[in-house]
Amino acid sequence: MKKLVMAFVVTAGALSIAGGGVGIALVDPTPTFGEREFISLEGGGLSKHVNDTITMTCAKNDDVVLRDAQKATGYGAYFTLGPTAKWSGGSALCTAQLVKYSKSGTPRVLDQFSFVAAG
């Protein structure tokens, strides 16, 4: 399963970057519950995206157990994969998104990928 997650992450980033844009990637190939993980900006023109938002949502059995958002300062953002009030252990399916907000506040998802945080 861990090899599948790594291949999925690389593919998600490669698709965005191949189009000349920016993407996000998980630096750690084996994300685990309780760990602090870095989601990095990848691709060209990164300086235009350092104020964009990276969101992280994790769910267990279709119940959201983690929801967080960080500015992509320093060419990425750190997220801690639990514990939370609803997540005290075990695996969860997580989705990271790179979001750009218009001046009027409308969000646009530039890239996203999902991975399993092992428990």
Q: Tens digits of per-residue pLDDT, 71-81?
A: 998 899 999 99
In the predicted structure, residue 111 carries a pLDDT above the cut 90: yes
Q: Tens digits of per-residue pLDDT, 31-45?
A: 999 999 999 999 888
CATH number of the domain to which 53 belongs: 2.60.40
State mean pLDDT over 71-95. Answer: 96
**What pLDDT is stored for residue 20 in this prediction?**
59
**What pLDDT is stored for residue 67 in this prediction?**
98
The DSSP-derived string for 48-114 is: GGTTSEEEEEEEETTEEEEEEEEE-TTSEEEEE----SS-SSS-EEEEEEEEEE-TT--EEEEEEEE
Structural domains in the chain (count): 1
| pTM, to two decimals | 0.82
Range of the structural domain that residue 103 is part of: 2-117
